[in-house]
């Protein structure tokens, strides 16, 4: 009968408490056996890298296309037209394609970050994260707090996962994320607001300057982001093969 109690006065089996260690004393059952660890989100990491590079490339293409587009808009400004009334240019087409790309980046990047956060909690439960795991998703879109909450989430995930000191550059990466957002607001105003119905002005000539600055900083930020993803993935793999104490 399984799990039956030994008869009164019977001597228990020397193997009942668990395997005998090399030094002789009995170890509790299960001691030394690997504990289930969360899987490294390597596939999500690769996806986050790919979409980030594609986005940076799109920003560069937009910056180049903004030069001939500005000539069209400047002519429209001279005629008192709005952006909505100006001729459709290649820049407009790429701008439309940028929207679904942005949604893809948000979904893939947030999913990777949220999964990495859960991984960090599993391997280093003693670490105190300054924000809840849900902010790995909503931190990017909630007004005002989106200016620093994602930075805190990424920073804490790195500190909790990477055993050695993380590589510097996270502050520069975050600046390269925020400044292009400001540039986008400026270019939006130069072309007549969200709907593009306000009359264009000669100031639209500065459009390529802000678009180019945003593209350059996005490229730098992408390089740093990819480096951080790879660094974090390597640290996660180290946890995956670490023996249980």
d(CA 122, CA 50): 27
Per-residue pLDDT band for 36 (boundaries 50, 70, 90) equals low
Residue 27 has a pLDDT of: 36
CB neighbour list of residue 173: distance below 8 Å, 6 or more residues apart: 221, 224, 225, 228
pLDDT for 11 beyond 80: no
- 199 three-class SS: strand
Q: Which residue has the higher pLDDT, 92 or 32?
A: 92
Range with lowest mean pLDDT among 5-9, 48-52, 110-114, 210-214: 5-9
Residue whose token pair is 């942005």:
102
CB burial of 62-72 (b: ≥16 within 10 Å; e: otherwise) equals bbbbbeebbeb
**Which has the closest alpha carbon to 147: 102, 182, 111?**
182
Q: How far is CA 70 from CA 61, 80, 206, in A?
A: 14, 15, 8
pLDDT for 22 beyond 50: no
Residue whose token pair is 């306000």:
198
d(CA 211, CA 207): 6
pLDDT for 227 beyond 80: yes
Calculate what percentage of the chain has a pLDDT beyond 90. Answer: 77
Give the pLDDT confidence of 98-132 residue by residue, as tens digits: 999 999 999 999 999 999 999 999 999 999 999 99
Residue 38 has a pLDDT of: 83
Q: Which of 17-21, 23-27, 38-42, 222-226 has the highest mean pLDDT?
A: 222-226
The vertex-14 CA angle with 8 and 20, nearest 5°, equals 155
Per-residue pLDDT band for 150 (boundaries 50, 70, 90) equals very high
For residues 137-164, average pLDDT: 96
The pTM (predicted TM-score) of the whole model is: 0.81
pLDDT for 45 beyond 90: yes
**Which has the closest alpha carbon to 220: 184, 182, 169, 181?**
169
């Amino acid at each position: 009968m399984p799990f039956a109690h030994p008869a009164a006065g019977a001597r228990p089996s020397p193997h009942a408490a668990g395997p005998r260690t090399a030094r002789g004393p009995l170890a509790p059952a299960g001691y030394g056996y690997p504990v289930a660890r969360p899987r490294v989100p390597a596939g999500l990491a690769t996806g986050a890298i790919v979409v980030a590079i594609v986005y940076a490339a799109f920003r560069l293409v937009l910056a180049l296309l903004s030069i001939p587009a500005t000539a069209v808009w400047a002519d429209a400004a001279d005629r008192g037209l709005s952006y909505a009334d100006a001729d459709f240019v290649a820049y407009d087409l790429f701008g439309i394609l940028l929207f679904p790309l942005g949604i893809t980046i948000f979904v893939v990047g947030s999913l990777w970050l949220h999964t990495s956060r859960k991984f960090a909690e599993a391997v280093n439960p003693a670490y105190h994260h300054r924000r809840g795991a849900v902010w790995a998703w909503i931190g990017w879109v909630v007004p005002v707090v989106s200016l620093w909450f994602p930075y805190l989430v990424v920073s804490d995930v790195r500190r909790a996962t990477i055993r050695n000191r993380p590589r510097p550059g996270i502050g520069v990466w975050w600046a390269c994320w925020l400044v292009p957002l400001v540039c986008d607001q400026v270019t939006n105003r130069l072309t007549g607001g969200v709907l593009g119905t306000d009359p264009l002005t000669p100031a639209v000539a500065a459009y390529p300057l802000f678009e180019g600055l945003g593209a350059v900083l996005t490229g730098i930020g992408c390089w740093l982001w990819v480096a951080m993803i790879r660094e974090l993935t390597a640290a996660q793999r180290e946890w995956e093969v670490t023996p249980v104490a």
